[in-house]
Structure 1
Amino acid sequence: MSMQPKEPGEIPAETVRVARAAFPKGSLAIRIRDELGVLFRDEEFAGLFPSRGKPAWSPGRSALVLVLQFVEGLTDRQAAEAVRARIDFKYALGLELGDPGFDFSVLSEFRDRLAGADAGRQVLDGILAAARERNLLVSGGKARTDSTHVLSAARELCWLEMVAETLRSALNAIAVAAPDWLTQIAEPDWFKHYATRAEDSRFPKARTKRDEVGRRIGADGVRLLAAVTSPDTPGELRELEQVEILRQMWVQHFHLIEGEVRRRDPKDRAPGAARLVTPYDAEARGSVKRDIVWDGYKVHLTETCEPDSPNLVTNVATTLATVPDSVMSEKIHAGLAGHGCLPGEHWVDAGYPTASQIVAARRDHGVDLQGPMAGNTAAQAGGPFGQDAFTIDWHQQQVTCPNGAASTQWHHRHSQQNLPVIRVRFSPADCRPCPRLRDCVNSPKAERREINLRHRDEYEAVHTARTDQQTDVWKERYKIRAGVEGTISQGVQRCGLRRSRYRGLAKTSLQHQLTGAALNLARIDAHLTQTPRARTRTNHFAALRPADQTVDGAK
């Protein structure tokens, strides 16, 4: 396939006439074309196609079809049929009424090209650029961000299913690449145990029996890996993706003890960030957030939140499930800065703000990062000898305790998390005689007080944030963040945000970029039709609750 860029041109007159007659009040697709014009042009996707070959269907139109597909929750077949049969789709795409459209496989192939080049952001940017031209998107205001879990497209497997399916997947791949070689080395029992899917087998219920099955699968996998890595084996077998997944899975879950294959103890297994959870999606990871346990990914949505304009999604970041929210603020701000969408105030929940992130946002991007800071968990925090009770002289690099003793040591060190800190120590000669020593230190044998401080900018940022967050004014302002929960809900209900349609991080990320673009089209259309924003839903019984009664106080 090659691309020969063409100018989109005007909508054919007959298409306009029929669309106006069929949709006198318009439709989303018609209004978007009328108000935003041509959103995507072929030349924007020139890098995705070779210079020679059979001409591809217009990539600019394909991008718009992908977004409309997510707006309406269509399958590829349904989206291709809509292009062929629906007047409003032909209007939005600028097609003749008799245009036959394309085969549904074109959408899958175009998504592969977008995912391979990490070009999903181009689709979101095309809509944001059109919105900015029409003053529907203004930078420098307020924005809010939240994340949610995303389930992998692969089914969740128990441990026995996971290792059995990993081995079966590798055997199937080798059977395609080198069937004669596999026939020679395969054990007779392998055809009995691995010819069908693990979910079709009935594993024993007794713990000892299940352990025996696990050891048998482990031993069979070791035999296969030994055969694949032997010198006389065709080298291309070692390069198979399924064989590499088998090797990684066996390293993470099995080891040899005196020549016998055994399952690793839980403390001896790979950390969650590296641990495979299924052979059919090697990038999916298992994670836990409060009472939610899932295998897959995580997505972060950032949207504007201005009262007189539509709330548009300006950044979408998809990560592995094990990546914590606390490291995402800088990446989100860098993404917003690269596309001219930085806000002045950025409202997030308690998972995002840290001292370093607040300082970096203000220093590098001029963004005021606002979110609940975790309380001081240090021993005796807030007490008469808590850290806030000590006076810090940053210029003299000295700390004075509540009883007037001054510190004698000030050293730059790193914490257990490898974060830069300042370690302050007082002299034993000052602390030993103090009658409150045991109230001031934690250890019964300690003879002096030691304090770990953040660097000044981070210390002051945390102190200011914690002070502000106790005020009613800040609590009232923070209510603006709650609206992003509605965005996640809309993404889930309209676009299936919490279930990946595809396997792998790249394609899942593309799905989320298209979801953000689809939400933006829906919200721009709602703004154009002056559709009021929905209020938080309350069931009929809860609405009868007296104003002075809270859920926590209910009996």
Structure 2
Amino acid sequence: MQGVERGDRELLDAEALVGHLVPAGSMFAFLAGHRRNLFPDGEFEDLFPSGKGRPSIPASVMASILVLQTLHDLSDRETAEAARCDLRWKVATGMALDDKGFDPSTLVYWRKRLATSGRPHRINDAVRTVVEETGILRGRRKRAVDSTILADAVATQDTITQLISAIRRVDRQVPGAAGQIAKVCTGHDYSRPDKPRIDWDDPAARDALVSALVNDANALVAALADTELEGDAEFALALLALVAGQDAEPAEGSDGTDGRWRIARKVAPDRVVSTVDPDARHTRKSPENRRDGYRAHVAAEPETGIVTDEKVTTAAGTENSDPAVAEEFLDAEDGKRAWYGDSAYGTGDLRGGIDDAGHEAVIKPKPLRAPVEGGFTVDDFTVDDFTVDDFTVDDFTVDEQAGTVTCPNDITRPISRTRVATFGALCRACSLRAQCTTSKTGRKIVLHPRDDLLRQARRDWADKPELRESYRTFRPNVERVISQIASRGGRRLKLRYLGTGKNNAWLKRRTAALNLRNLIGRGLTHTAGAWTLAT
């Protein structure tokens, strides 16, 4: 049954005895005075439908603890210890000085209850309600978007470790798999989690082991192919098939039918990096910054730093790209907005979505790349950062109304139904060919369906200094928000949970805590039944 906070104080009530030691204006002091207004019991009643049994920890107390845990980036054990021993936590949560606290598993229990409920992000929703009531975003029509990579909670596994782990997972989760493993898998003793003992300095020994493990995986998948599976068992078998296929390729001189395999000489585009957390992925924020983990996407109001939307996704796949998630943020907003983003968000699809919704895009255009260094681009001018380079000969000119593209040598070609203009053989005798293309078949121009918006964006960036000034003023502010989300005390955070769902829930709590801290710094209080700000 649901527990509720008592109206009267205990003899050793921490707030009464040592509350004066907690700094005014801190998160601890705010929760001490307003946790029941922020997280009323009625908002959590559905988590405990039964009126029988031992009362739970009051919702206002546990919600406050989850906010503090996420804000301070503590493990469950560290959180339980803080609630038991830290006077600030006792004041914030209304505990008595001699309260022994709770077992760390209680936090797992509450997160699971929230995750399986109809409103899994109600802590975030409660803070959003406060933001709305204060009116801090009223009349503010700017939104800045950005993303960051968050390291996953597991170690990246090599191919051999993944194959062994995936087969052991099938053994645990698929009914009848143990018998099939004993029957068809001969390359390793899969009752042991450690790596096989071979001469790892011997390439032949390593290749023989890889071949044996891949053959075992393929044989086990084939043996269980006709078995009707569902849930975890179905996923375990699918994961084994994926792991066996993503990192292995036929050995040199083999087509794979002879059972000879080797570790692939390239990385699969959507490679699973760990069977412990199959959602984690290889990714990179830049060519030099390669990491494993998840991508956290954020939309924020740049002048106040209030986060208006957030989402954790896997770090690979076009559906999880920066512009794709930004379109989701766009759809969630009411009213006209100006959207700020760096060149990663400068795609035709996102610009089209912004334009169709009647919003404004203040997004740095993606730089144009010429096939020949210093040669002609698809535009009739080029943009170099914030300046325009003038050319004596115009580059390609697109006429959407006529459906044509004209090259620098004044040759015009039609745009096909697939948005391609092919110059082909016309390039052979062209005097400007050396400045245009190195292709033997001539220049081909592929246009995005929203090429008009892309082209106009590059023109506006060059012709409107006020647009660039607005970008410089407001877009960088979201980087501060990203820094607050992804780090604490100068230390880069590492995710503590497995899977996209749990890590997305963590991000929702994290942004809720940061928004609440932001509001507290502006004098947030609850008076006469309403949330107000001092500034």
After TM superposition, give the deviation of residue 68 of structure 1 in Å: 0.6
Contact 1:276 1:284 in 2 (8 A): yes
Amino acid in structure 1 at the alignment position of 2:507:
H
**2:62, 2:364 → 1: CA distance?**
39
Relative to 1, partners in 2 of residues 1:224 and 1:125: Cα closer, same or farther, differing over 3 Å? same
From 364, 368, 371, give the equivalent of 1:371. 364
Match of 1:362 in 2: 355
Q: Does 1:71 align with 2:71?
A: yes
User: Within 5 A, what are the aligned runs for 1:356-435?
Assistant: 356-364=349-357, 366-375=359-368, 377=370, 380-381=376-377, 382=381, 383-387=391-395, 390=397, 392=399, 394-395=400-401, 397=403, 407=412, 409-413=414-418, 421=419, 423=420
Change (3 A) 1:96 1:258: closer
Contact 1:150–1:298 (8 Å) recurs in 2: yes
Distance 1:32 1:131, change over 3 A: farther
How many Å separate the matches in 2 of 1:172 and 1:351?
43
Deviation of 1:147 (Å): 1.7
**Partners of 2:297 and 2:310 within 8 A in 1:** yes
Alignment check: 8 A CA contact 2:461 2:467 kept: no
CA distance in 2, matches of 1:396, 1:374: 26
Deviation at 1:506, TM superposition (A): 1.0
TM superposition shift of 1:211: 0.7
Matched, 1:210 2:206: yes
Q: What is the number of residues matched between the two proteins?
A: 500
Over the matched positions of the two proteins, sequence identity in percent amounts to 22
Equivalents in 2 of 1:82, 1:522: separation in Å? 19
**Map 1:127-276 → 2, pairs under 5 A:** 127-138=127-138, 140-173=140-173, 181=179, 185=183, 190-191=188-189, 194-198=191-195, 204-229=200-225, 239=233, 241-254=235-248, 257=255, 259-263=257-261, 266=264, 271-273=268-270, 275-276=271-272
Instruction: Give the match's secondary structure for 2:38.
Output: coil
Would the alpha carbon gap of residues 179 and 410 (structure 1) be closer, same or farther in structure 2, given more than 3 Å must change? closer
The CA deviation at 1:182 is 6.8
Q: Closer, same or farther in 2 for the Cα pair 1:137/1:497, shift >3 Å?
A: farther
Distance 1:227 1:456, change over 3 A: closer
**Which amino acid is the alignment partner of residue 351 of structure 2?**
I
Superposition pairs of residues 41-120 of structure 1, within 5 angstroms: 41-46=40-45, 48=47, 54=53, 56-94=56-94, 101-116=101-116, 119=119
Residues 230-270 of structure 1 show CA distances to partners (whole Å, capped at 9, x for unaligned) of: 77xx9789936434322332243457857532336748x89
Q: Do 2:185 and 2:219's aligned partners in 1 also have CA atoms closer than 8 Å?
A: no
Distance 1:36 1:457, change over 3 A: farther
User: Contact between 2:423 and 2:442, CA under 8 Å: does it hold in 1?
Assistant: no
What displacement does 1:108 show? 0.8
Contact 2:142 2:339 in 1 (8 A): yes
TM-score (norm 1): 0.73
Cα distance in structure 2, aligned partners of 1:172 and 1:519? 41
Shifted more, 443-452 versus 250-259: the winner is 443-452
Shift of 1:229: 4.7
Counterpart for residue 547 of structure 1: none
Give me the CA root mean square deviation.
Answer: 4.5
Q: Distance in 2 between matches of 1:11 and 1:337?
A: 46
Q: Residue 479 of structure 2: which of 485, 507, 526 is its match? A: 485
Q: Name 1:295's counterpart in structure 2.
A: 292
Query: Of the candidates 511, 514, 517, which is equivalent to residue 519 of structure 1?
Result: 514
**Aligned residues of 1:118 and 1:510 also touching (Cα < 8 A):** no
Q: CA deviation at 1:456?
A: 6.3
1:111, distance to aligned residue in structure 2 (A): 1.7
The secondary structure found in structure 1 opposite 2:276 is: coil
Instruction: Give per-residue Cα distances to partners, 1:395-429, cap 9 Å, x unaligned.
Output: 45566677877x5745432xxxxxxx3x457999x
Query: Where does structure 1 lack aligned partners over 5 or more consecutive residues?
Result: 414-420, 530-555
**Partner residue of 2:273?**
277
Q: Which residue of 1 aligns with 2:388?
A: none
Deviations 1:109-134 (A, max 9, x none): 22223344595543223223213323
**How far apart, CA to CA, are the structure 2 residues paired with 1:186 and 1:118?**
45
Q: Is the 8 A contact 1:326 1:351 kept in 2?
A: no
Q: Name the structure 1 match of 2:38.
A: 39
Unaligned 5+ residue runs, structure 2? 382-390, 525-535
Question: Relative to structure 1, is the Cα distance of residues 203 and 298 closer, same or farther in structure 2, using a 3 angstrom cutoff?
Answer: farther
- Classify the secondary structure of the residue corresponding to 1:351: helix
Q: Is the 2:421–2:445 Cα contact (8 Å) retained in structure 1?
A: yes
Contact 1:432-1:448 at 8 Å conserved across structures: yes
Letter in 2 for 1:131: V
Tell me: CA distance 1:298–1:25, structure 2 relative to 1, closer, same or farther (3 Å): closer
Matches within 5 A, 1:457-468: 457-468=452-463
Q: For 2:210, give the aligned amino acid.
A: G
- Equivalent position to 1:320, from 314, 327, 342: 314
SS of aligned partner of 2:343: coil
Partner of 1:532: none
Cross-structure match for 1:23: 22
Q: Is the CA contact (8 Å cut-off) linking 2:162 and 2:243 kept in structure 1?
A: no
8 Å CA contact retained: 2:299, 2:329: no
Alpha-carbon distance, 1:66 to partner: 0.9
Structure 1 residues 437, 444: closer, same or farther in 2, change over 3 A? farther
Q: 1:344 to 1:163 in 2, by over 3 A?
A: same
Scaled by the length of structure 2, the TM-score of the pair is 0.76
